[in-house]
Amino acid sequence: MPSWLRKSLVVMVTIFTFGLVTPTSLLPIQHEEDKSPRKAVLAESLPDVSGEETSQVSREDFIKEMVTSAEKHSFEKFGEKIKPVIESEFQIVILPNIEKAISEVAEQYTEENLHHLSITETASAGLSERIFHIADEAKQKDVIRFHVRRDHPPQQGYWFNFHYHTAYDQFQTHHELGSIYWDKNTPPKWMS
């Protein structure tokens, strides 16, 4: 199948499904040396139209797509043991704050350039904080990093502290998204 036809089919399917489905079977096979952790996750990003035609996504659609992906990555991070306990509180308290942070980032890009932003990192297991990162693929740099930390204040049990870092201060400042109480007992490791 000619590459222009394959690319056109990928774009059409992606547009008709609002970016929720990307027909990976039509994408060219990637060589082993081209694979990297960043590129492995790019299939989840918004569609990129090759050639002369430029992909433009509305700001609202971009934010909706990113929030949906953020929720998916967060639930992967929680795993089967933590997710049922904090899922509803996460959706009520934390997810709207994640949406606000993503909106603030999106405001700094024109609608023509929003397709350069994509979720590039997957959630990490064990005790690591990383949930996901959003990067500007044109500049090959992270723009915002979403994390969750386990806090254990004396006599208060365990809390999950959700926060993010931005490139604007070299990822130094914790921007609070909220905290969710776990229990007095030690929570299981992420993704367990």
- Kindly state whether residues 103 and 178 are assigned to the same domain: yes
Tokens coding 23: 């027909």
Say what the pLDDT of residue 33 is.
39
Q: What is the mean predicted confidence (pLDDT) over 164-169?
A: 92
Say what the pLDDT of residue 14 is.
67
Say what the pLDDT of residue 160 is.
96
pLDDT at 5 over 80: no
**Residue 18 counted as domain residue:** yes
Buried-exposed string 7-23: b where 16+ CB fall within 10 A, e elsewhere: bbebbeebeeeebeebe
Mean pLDDT lowest among 35-39, 77-81, 135-139, 168-172: 35-39
- Kindly state whether residues 31 and 104 are assigned to the same domain: no
Q: Which residue in this structure is represented by tokens 């007992």?
A: 185
Say what the pLDDT of residue 158 is.
95
DSSP calls for 83-139: HHHHHHHIIIIIHHHHHHHHHHHHTTS-GGGGGGEEE------BT--EEEEEEETTT
Tokens coding 141: 């740099």
- Kindly state whether residues 73 and 160 are assigned to the same domain: yes
Q: What is the mean predicted confidence (pLDDT) over 59-88?
A: 93
- Spatial distance between the Cα atoms of 178 and 180, rounded to a whole number of angstroms: 7
- Kindly state whether residues 73 and 150 are assigned to the same domain: yes
CA distances 15 to 19, 21, 68, Å, are 6, 9, 17
pLDDT at 11 over 80: no
- Kindly state whether residues 18 and 73 are assigned to the same domain: no
Say what the pLDDT of residue 111 is.
86
Say what the pLDDT of residue 93 is.
95
- Kindly state whether residues 92 and 20 are assigned to the same domain: no
- Kindly state whether residues 23 and 99 are assigned to the same domain: no
**Residue 190 counted as domain residue:** no
Say what the pLDDT of residue 126 is.
82
Q: pTM of this prediction?
A: 0.70
State the chain's mean pLDDT as an integer: 80
Number of domains composing the chain? 2
- Kindly state whether residues 64 and 31 are assigned to the same domain: no
pLDDT tens figures, 85-138: 999 999 999 999 999 999 999 999 888 888 899 987 677 888 889 999 999 998
**Residue 51 counted as domain residue:** no
**Residue 164 counted as domain residue:** yes
- Kindly state whether residues 7 and 87 are assigned to the same domain: no
**Residue 41 counted as domain residue:** no
Say what the pLDDT of residue 3 is.
64
Domain residues for the domain of 30 are 3-35
- Kindly state whether residues 20 and 106 are assigned to the same domain: no
Q: Which residue in this structure is represented by tokens 């918004």?
A: 46
**DSSP-based three-state secondary structure for 65:** helix
- Kindly state whether residues 125 and 172 are assigned to the same domain: yes
Q: What is the mean predicted confidence (pLDDT) over 135-143?
A: 91
**Residue 46 counted as domain residue:** no
**Residue 127 counted as domain residue:** yes
- Kindly state whether residues 109 and 20 are assigned to the same domain: no
**Residue 17 counted as domain residue:** yes
- Spatial distance between the Cα atoms of 12 and 160, rounded to a whole number of angstroms: 41
